[in-house]
Amino acid sequence: MLHILRQSPFNADLDTLLRCMNAGDDLLLLQDGVIAAIKGGRYLELLLEAPISISALQEDLEARGLAAQISSKIDTVSYNDFVRLTIKHERQMTW
């Protein structure tokens, strides 16, 4: 399943999000959701413990001035990569 986090982790129910994730799922951080990828942040540590792949949309990182603050454990992706993720996962959940 592809999980898409669009809102700030400060306003999201990350506990529920993490409970709904399974091994092999992908998490894509969009819009204010990219805040969760900031290096050293408490939300990043929670997400990295899950058996999932985590990506952040490059355009949203740049729009928020966060590109240099993102953990190296997070893949940055383009809109084309976003489309590939939606094709890869028949089921999607937006948070």
Specify the DSSP class assigned to residue 55.
E
**Phi, psi torsion values for 82, nearest 5 degrees:** -60, -45
Residues 2-94: name the CATH superfamily. Answer: DsrEFH-like (3.40.1260.10)
CA angle 70, 15, 78 (to 5 degrees): 35
Query: Nearest Cα to 50, choosing from 81, 15, 83, 10?
Result: 15
Q: What percent of the chain has pLDDT over 70?
A: 100
| Whole-number Å distance between alpha carbons of 85 and 3 | 10
Query: Where are the domains positioned within the chain?
Result: 2-94
Span 23-47, mean pLDDT?
95
The average confidence (pLDDT) of the chain is 95
Q: What percent of the chain has pLDDT over 90?
A: 98
